[in-house]
Amino acid sequence: MIEVFPAESRYQKDLGWLKVKLSFSFGDYFDPNNTAFGVMRVCNDDEVAAGLGFGPHPHSDMEIVTVVLAGAVRHEDNLGNIKVTSVGEVQRMTAGSGIIHAEYNDSATEKLHALQLWFMPNELGLKPSFEISGYDLADLHNALLPILDPIGSEHTVKIHQDMTLYLSRLDKGKELSFQQAEGRRIFIFTIEGSLTVNESKLDEGDTARIESQSHLSIRAEEAAFLMLIDLP
């Protein structure tokens, strides 16, 4: 089954300094029929004005992943981490037994555009931690590049869950194949451009939640930038 969620179906909020589009229930937006997809709890598409951001606030028992699409985000936490994540990097924060952190647009002049993703960990009460990993943007070209997985490597950040997050930039007309293992779920987000996934069309901003499809054919109907997440 491939269930497509059009871009306009996302809940949107404009606070002036923050423009956010939500794919799942979050904060004061609650839809009892849209709280999760497997272990995935949040997919927020955030635009943050220059020099502004989210002040110190707590989290626990969640894997929080940030993929920077434009600009840079500065992370600060009570573990003593003060780190900046830019385009070509991904960050993972394990909230675990409890952490207090803040996130700000690191630029005084440019907008920050990022995806923030939350996933349930494979174990509660983990030791809080924070990690950044970089990847080569050229490696996204007409390929699915893993940037996050449960093992971690020089070019992937480690997450405490049985899942892998891929990014890809496809030229118009290019096609990728992906095999979905039995019992797994796939989440696809068309960040830019237009895709056909099997027989389903996804335009810019659309997402798809996919189950019980052994084979996926992903074709760029126009030049496209996409995120694919393989999760339980």
The verdict on whether residue 57 carries a ligand-binding annotation is yes
Q: What is the pLDDT of residues 83-136, one digit of tens each?
A: 999 999 999 999 999 999 999 999 999 999 999 999 999 999 999 999 999 999
Q: What is the pLDDT of residues 6-62, one digit of tens each?
A: 999 999 999 999 999 999 999 999 999 999 999 999 999 999 999 999 999 999 999
SS3 breakdown of the chain: % helix, strand, coil, rounded to 5? 5, 60, 40
Residue 183 pLDDT = 93
Do residues 189 and 43 lie in contact, with contact meaning Cβ atoms separated by under 8 Å? yes
The verdict on whether residue 160 carries a ligand-binding annotation is no
The DSSP element (H or E) to which 114 belongs, if any, is strand 112-119
Domain ranges in the chain are 8-135
Question: Quick check: 80 pLDDT over 90?
Answer: yes
Q: What is the pLDDT of residues 128-161, one digit of tens each?
A: 999 999 999 999 999 999 999 999 988 899 999 9
Q: For 226, what's the count of Cα atoms within 13 Å in the CB-facing half-sphere?
A: 34
For the structural domain made of 8-135, what CATH number should be given? 2.60.120.10
The verdict on whether residue 101 carries a ligand-binding annotation is yes
The verdict on whether residue 155 carries a ligand-binding annotation is no
Give me the numbers of helices (H) and strands (E) for the chain, helices first please: 0, 20
